Chain A
């Protein structure tokens, strides 16, 4: 079945560092891809999404490009802030089914 694999955490960065969280997927057909973020004590929030190959999703300085050739949807941000500390989930939607990755915890230190 479809699945999502994302890099294991935790990831610890200093403020203003470059962030990459890797995400790869396995799916039949053409899934839609998402990144969700969970801040401490809160529910999941949609961060960005891409619905077809080569689409780039972006929000709050985060970006991810849907790469069908490498089946990847890596999350990047050029300069992280302390407020970006959270757990990030990669997800895909395909054939009426939603699958999430295991989550990657990011801690940004001042």
Chain B
């Protein structure tokens, strides 16, 4: 069973479109994250979220928004896609919000290409 899953694995879309990437974890964790891996392979955290607190990296444009229908899901919604949004996006989860010291479990990534 996959612990953290993301869909779709690949997403190709036009500039200006709105798209969502879904993430689900079956670990019973309280906290989920979104990371962006840029062209130089650096991973940068975008959001961390549990049912109590949303922490947003201040460098993330407000076109990006996390949406959590329940504790097991944290979807990433992106409005008005731009060329620079092309990247691989990773979802992750951990037991606690302060859980960078905990084991974080990562999904396989979603490669987004904006044309």
Contacts and interface: CB of A to CB of B under 8 A. Distances in A.
Interface string A81-100: 00000000101010011111
Interface residues of A, number: 22
B27 interface: no
B108 A43 contact: yes
Given A32-B100, A93-B100, A43 B105 contact: yes
Interface in B35-59: 35, 40-45, 55, 57
Interface string B81-115: 00000000010100000001101111111000000
Nearest to B98: A96
Given A36-B106, A44-B92, A93-B101, 19 more contacts: A32-B100, A38-B106, A42-B108, A43-B106, A43-B107, A43-B109, A44-B90, A45-B105, A46-B104, A49-B101, A91-B43, A93-B100, A96-B55, A96-B100, A97-B57, A100-B35, A102-B41, A102-B42, A103-B41
Contacts of B41: 102-103
